Structure 1
């Protein structure tokens, strides 16, 4: 609307001064950025990286081009290069809270926890209503072992994004780590309501099973862990914990089979090997008792 009015006024003879021309380098940057974002949206990460590198070269001070290039590099596994470009985007646009948060997330992933905390604090000051700002600081606290402070920040993030599945899962995980299985289970049930039946993520069902087991509800633990084990390829640790729940529920034969599956996946999984040997020893002793 503003551009149309300006053109109309210029044509009518109003003396508003000369129209400011957009530098060719900026035009090139914007065009390459648009093409790069389209490539990202379709999963063409190599093409996106090439296009966005060209955009940054055309206009090195364009914060949006830097942000997009950082994401393309991150998806390609070039994490440290991605951090460099995202940090540059922060310097170019220090009042953009989502950039501060994304920079902090990347820093945390590469092990720079103190710098990630700095970004979280900056983001909270810029926009205290942005859920991601609180979630980032909560994750940093959790990584530092300050679980109660981490839980408080994650819960604060849920005030602004109550259906954020990632934040809900982290809240449940921290509650489990704090030895609060009932609270963890309540959070997980709220989270599970988000998903259609049969589409619950493995990690959520896994944690639900552990919460049930901690509460002594072993049969329910078995059911949750079994459901988790068929959501994609199970890890040996998941099967080991399923076997523990089966044994606690009195299903020793099932536990033996589950442990054999775990060892088939990871022959070096020592807890599974030890538990299987113990179960086999019990079976041998029981057989000898019957013979006597």
Structure 2
């Protein structure tokens, strides 16, 4: 005996609610009051009509999902509505993001391109394409894609923070600050936004405002190496060396919190700042150790080597000063000359003859650096 539509809908309704033993309800064959009341209590006319429409929509949706042949590809997807396209675009975007995090930028860009071909209104695909283009040095194209991602996401703070960072790196400070302000209006508890706001204030030469923003970021995320280093740099510019050292004492250099939301941290930056502070406070021997550590962590930086050359001159070790100066000259000739060194005179003169400002070098002082840098650290090129 065939089951009526109403009985089938009631069966589905009871089954979805967890009832195991379901008996189909039959329409009353007579008009006995008790039977009619029982039927109307369980199933109303409006409930039956509503459930029937839901079942029909579900059936049509399942038909769409099961009738696309595997060989149809993206062209087949385009025939079945935007929702299907969005699902495919999100899947491709996730794969592209995974490839990007693994450093496979070529594969990532290909996947993001395919995602945008499927659906041009997927904000994650635009964000991923922006990162790929930024990594290739195509700044303007990257910013255009990220602006589109912000528009499609209705102002997602994560997209806006990244867009503000890109604006700042290309010198569009006012636009970066505006993006940051809008994002802060919707999320004031994200430390990366306050870090970006601090960087905008540094670019505007508002150091006190920048410090306030950095302190707010550290109150939300105490282990934040990027912000701690930026704070220490401001203290260095303000000659507040005790505060600089106190800030870096809380720095966890192994903290893995650096991502695409901030600028990259220069290797050895913390040791370089510590060395400068120690030297200014008269703790020369400790400063030498920090400068050597900084030079070891960043073989391409000339600043730590110039500091070591200057200390060697002050301590009466001209041979070591010449060695460090020669290394700095190979790495960054412009910075070496801007530091006030008469490079031609120093590198052409026998050790111990000429010091900066035409002074003489007394070699009787106790040595601070015991051996030649090249001999003690063969990793230096």
Aligned residue number for residue 4 of structure 2: none
Query: 1:48 offset after TM fit, Å?
Result: 0.8
Query: 1:194 offset after TM fit, Å?
Result: 4.8
Instruction: Check the 8 A contact 2:267/2:297 in 1, yes or no.
Output: yes
Query: 1:219 offset after TM fit, Å?
Result: 1.7
Kindly indicate whether residue 134 of structure 2 is the aligned counterpart of residue 74 of structure 1.
Answer: yes
Query: 1:151 offset after TM fit, Å?
Result: 1.1
**Contiguous gaps of at least 5 residues in structure 1:** 1-7, 288-292
Matches within 5 A, 1:278-289: 280-282=353-355
Instruction: Give, in whole Å, the separation in 2 of the partners of 1:246 and 1:151.
Output: 35
Q: Which residue, 110, 117, 131 being the options, matches 1:57? A: 117
Kindly indicate whether residue 189 of structure 2 is the aligned counterpart of residue 129 of structure 1.
Answer: yes
Aligned residue number for residue 83 of structure 1: 143
Change (3 A) 1:194 1:39: closer
Query: 1:173 offset after TM fit, Å?
Result: 1.0
Instruction: Give, in whole Å, the separation in 2 of the partners of 1:9 and 1:47.
Output: 47
Instruction: Check the 8 A contact 2:133/2:142 in 1, yes or no.
Output: yes
Q: Which residue, 145, 154, 161 being the options, matches 2:205? A: 145
Q: CA RMSD in A?
A: 2.9
Query: 1:148 offset after TM fit, Å?
Result: 0.9
Change (3 A) 1:251 1:228: same
Aligned residue number for residue 295 of structure 2: 229
Structure (1 or 2) with the greater helix fraction: 1
Query: 1:10 offset after TM fit, Å?
Result: 11
Matches within 5 A, 1:1-292: 14-15=51-52, 16=54, 18-19=57-58, 23=82, 24-192=84-252, 194=254, 201-268=267-334, 269-270=336-337, 271=339, 273-274=341-342, 277=346, 280-282=353-355
**Contiguous gaps of at least 5 residues in structure 2:** 1-11, 17-47, 65-80, 256-265, 363-381
Larger radius of gyration: 2
Query: 1:257 offset after TM fit, Å?
Result: 2.4
- Secondary structure of 1:163's counterpart equals coil
Instruction: Give, in whole Å, the separation in 1 of the partners of 2:272 and 2:14.
Output: 66
- Secondary structure of 2:251's counterpart equals helix
Q: Deviations over 1:90-131 (max 9, x none)?
A: 111234211111110111111111000001101111101011
Query: 1:284 offset after TM fit, Å?
Result: 9.7
Instruction: Give, in whole Å, the separation in 2 of the partners of 1:286 and 1:92.
Output: 67
Instruction: Give, in whole Å, the separation in 1 of the partners of 2:188 and 2:310.
Output: 44
Instruction: Give, in whole Å, the separation in 2 of the partners of 1:29 and 1:102.
Output: 21
